Structure 1
Amino acid sequence: MRFSRGNIAREQNRTAYLFLLPWFIGFICLTVGPMIASLYFSLTKYNLFNSPKWIGLDNYVEIFTNDPTFTSSLWLTFKYVFLSVPFKLIFALLVAMALNKGMRGLGIYRTVYYLPSLLGGSIAIAIVWRQIFDGNGIVNGFLSLFGITGPSWIAHPDYIIYTIITLSVWQFGSAMVIFLAGLKQVPAEIYEASSIDGASKVRQFFTMTLPLLSPVIFFNLIMGLINSFQAFTPAFVIGDGRGGPLNATMFYTLYLYLKGFSFFDMGYASALAWVMVIMIGALTAVVFATSRYWVFYGDDKGGK
């Protein structure tokens, strides 16, 4: 029995869709469905115990006009994002360049440096981090060797945010691995040619390494921004789950969580979630729009 090419193609498509069906079901039931429900709840007054009551845009009006905690948590989150992401990328790039020198046991070093990225978001690591920066922790124990009496870093509202930023920077392994892969793709010949022409290592870094790595930097920047805005576990554990001390760890995600699961104001929490989605989308769009001026793909002219 003969089959036309069209029949074979249709049969292959049906097989492919059959294998993709579990993913489509999960995507619709676990992603699209909850997003639609959240959008609806954001337009209602809903406390999980009573039926949702339609109130239109009242939740959003309340957020932007009469919620000082929203403003403070938003600024704190921006501070965390705009400090942790650049430092993490810089540190990851420096370590990747060091590992790219062809040292022995590269696989071991790469695994060791990548390990914090696998564990850094866990509750256990956040608890350990809390102990490290406690008043009697390892950091102050080290400072005492030099006669310095350190504060309780996690109990002081001016310092605790920087311990969380340090924890984020410590999780540089994922970005480092991606940077290392990008560095492996840079031809060694261009460095040899520039060395012959008298270019210094610093000039090579800024005129060759950074432009050639700009697509990798762009990818790590986007992923870093999105992940940093969603930071929750460190603030929850280190700040005792209430944003302490003095709301110094009241990240946007923590405030959203408290509104929804401590005060059971699920409608308001849903509105906060959609505000965050829009903010992340807008910031990502800005980065994409500006990328044409600084991301170089090799076959483009002028970085476009």
Structure 2
Amino acid sequence: MSLSAPASVRRPNRAPASAQDTIQMTPLARPLTAPPAPEGSTKSLLAKESDPSTTDVPTNVSTRSDPTQALTTCGSGPNDPTPQEIAENPWKYGVYLIAALLFAVIAGYPQFSRWVASDQAWFITRRFSTLNARIILLLQDRIVELEDKLNEHDEFHSQSKEVMQDLDYTHNGSFRLDRESKRTEVLEDLVNAVSQYNAFVNEYAQLASRPSVRKDDVKAVRKWLANHKYAIDDLEAAYINEEHDDDLIPVHPKPQSWFRKVLEKTPILRHRPLRRFLTREPCDPLIRKKEGGKTVWHNDKRVEWLSAVVIGMVGLGMLI
């Protein structure tokens, strides 16, 4: 005999039709968006940083097609960070650091070489005075050693026949009869040594006679390297440092009148009316595009013409 469960605890085999239909017709609804996190919480801060509309990176960076522009225009725009801000907050301005590395790869020596060649005043190298002097002294000493050997052979072969006895007697007045002797070998070594010495001394004499480089031109090269910090390795750019000021020379010195040097030290050439007239665009279009107004190229002919005009006017004024 089986007992049936009380009605209060009996489980129905099937839910009521109305309840079952309600479950089937109404699926479990999930909210499309999470409720807003409390202001100031970690979740709200992360959501704010991931939102492009609220990010701290300037909006003009994301619209640039060329990532290297983030470096070349760094600090020039109203919202662009300064290099100091980038160094102190790399997590915030990562795009600028990436752009700096890209610019270093793209620029480098190709860009630096184009810029240096765009004006002969900036083509500056070292004279290496100490090294040249040491090499010349080395070549000189080698010649001295060979000279001593030659003198020994001359003294030996200049002895009388009685002293020489059975030794082969060499005629000092004939190269043809002396071709197989050691003295001729020394002379052949001297030909190469003296030739190398003369060529080296003459080449260095040309370097030593070059005028000293102008301080303004050295500052221009240092400024370019400072503006393009990642372009050239620091060790390789050290040739232009202050410790080598006395050793720097221009590859092709630019002739300048004394009055032009005076004009360049005055603010006259920097006034807008004259600046456009006295400047020029570089011949290389890539330099013109990359520099973007950071470098000013003087028109040498017009500057010299202005110098001559001013000198002439001053001379006429003194005569009157």
Which TM-score tier does this pair reach, normalised by the shorter chain?
A: under 0.3
- Tell me which of the two structures has the higher relative contact order, counting C-alpha pairs closer than 8 angstroms and 6 or more residues apart: 1
**TM-score, length of structure 1 as denominator length:** 0.24
